Amino acid sequence: MEDRILKLGLVGAGRIGRVHAEHLQRHLAGAALVIVADAHEAVARDCAARLQIPEATADYRRVTDHPDVDAVLICSPTDTHLEVILAAAAAGKHIFCEKPIDSDLGRIDRALAAVRQAQVVFQVGFNRRFDANFRRVRRAVVDGEIGTPHQLHLISRDPAPPPLSYIRQSGGIFTDMTIHDFDMARFLVGDEVVRLYATGAALVDPKIGEAGDIDTATILLEFAQGAVGVIENSRRAVYGYDQRVEVFGSGGSARIDNNYPNTAILSGAKMVRRDLPLNFFMERYLSSYLLEMEQFVEAARRGGPSPLSGEEGRIPVVMAIAARKSWELKRPVTLAEIERS
């Protein structure tokens, strides 16, 4: 397969599905989409027409059963992931699945068992691992530039909360938002979290609280090798998309600031100022989405290994479940406790 174009089918032509589709059709010479599916057929047809994808359908089975499809991209709602994974694995297709695989560990384990049995490449879409800034911090840890990690501080705040309709079906802030930070915590420190404590409240919009969720959260992390971490989340930062991190170690620290639309700094008699940071995750992380898809295509063409396996994608879900339980019970929760339940 390495010598020919990888042919893919897309399931889910919403916002993130269209991003992946555009990258595949316009930026990756070794791959091409041959069919797109969406539960709303008009959405699939619009995507196909815009990006010159030959076929469009409302039925994902036409993607998983398509004789020309080598790999399936799953960008549909989380509660549909399992059925598409099972169908794609049964058909022997390589699989890219947006995070989370599922919100239920039993369903995740069913999916991963099917992938192992089919012996196909399976990659989970945690795009921040492919961001140049985060990767540089990770390299500083791996290469010993900052010594042994002692502390982690992750700040992740959105410019505005999503619609209440999304919050009601997303599984909550720990599953749809903090899950990226849970993955980053493990990735950057290079160690497993063994216990966490989550606290928070609905401070941005009381309707979020009425929907059974929170919009402001702080999570304390304990790592197996002794490091400690803090994650700060908010659904609304009035100044834009706030994405910062620091890993502090025995020999120094590595940190990243927000990305800005320009590097201009304006100095005057009363203040020094600059423009606000990028205001949307698609602007901040667009290049990481491209690199993530490029590496999936390469892995599928080679037959593996996956750049981010299903097992790696499962652990942040365990952490999200632990965080929810910790917030509800107002006590620390170990990940082992979640695995036993």
pLDDT tens for the 341 residues of the chain, in order: 556 899 999 999 999 999 999 999 999 999 999 999 999 999 999 999 999 999 999 999 999 999 999 999 999 999 999 999 999 999 999 999 999 999 999 999 999 999 999 999 999 999 999 999 999 999 999 999 999 999 999 999 999 999 998 888 888 999 999 999 999 999 999 999 999 999 999 999 999 999 999 999 999 999 999 999 999 999 999 999 999 999 999 999 999 999 999 999 999 999 999 999 988 777 788 899 999 999 999 999 999 899 999 999 999 999 999 999 999 999 999 999 999 98
Domain stops at, among 58, 87, 120:
120
Do 51 and 139 fall into the same domain? no
- What integer pLDDT is reported at residue 253 of this predicted model? 98
- What integer pLDDT is reported at residue 1 of this predicted model? 56
Do 17 and 84 fall into the same domain? yes
Q: Identify the CATH number of the domain in which residue 54 sits.
A: 3.40.50.720
Domain stops at, among 120, 138, 167:
120
Query: What single string gives the DSSP state of each residue in 147-194?
Result: -SEEEEEEEEE-SSPPPHHHHHHH--HHHHTHHHHHHHHHHHHTS-EE
Do 264 and 327 fall into the same domain? yes
Count Cβ atoms below 10 Å from residue 160 Cβ, excluding itself. 14
Q: How many domains is the chain partitioned into structurally?
A: 2
Domain enclosing residue 196, as ranges: 129-284+316-340
| Distances in whole angstroms, Cα of residue 5 to Cα of each of 64, 69, 273, 299 | 18, 11, 49, 13
Tallying the residues shown for the chain, one arrives at 341
Asked if the structure places residue 309 within a domain, the reply is: no
Do 174 and 101 fall into the same domain? no
Token readout for 280 is 């949307």
Domain stops at, among 97, 120, 143:
120
For residue 283, the surrounding DSSP H or E stretch is: helix 281-302
- What integer pLDDT is reported at residue 114 of this predicted model? 98
This prediction's pTM: 0.94
Query: Residue type for 294, please?
Result: E
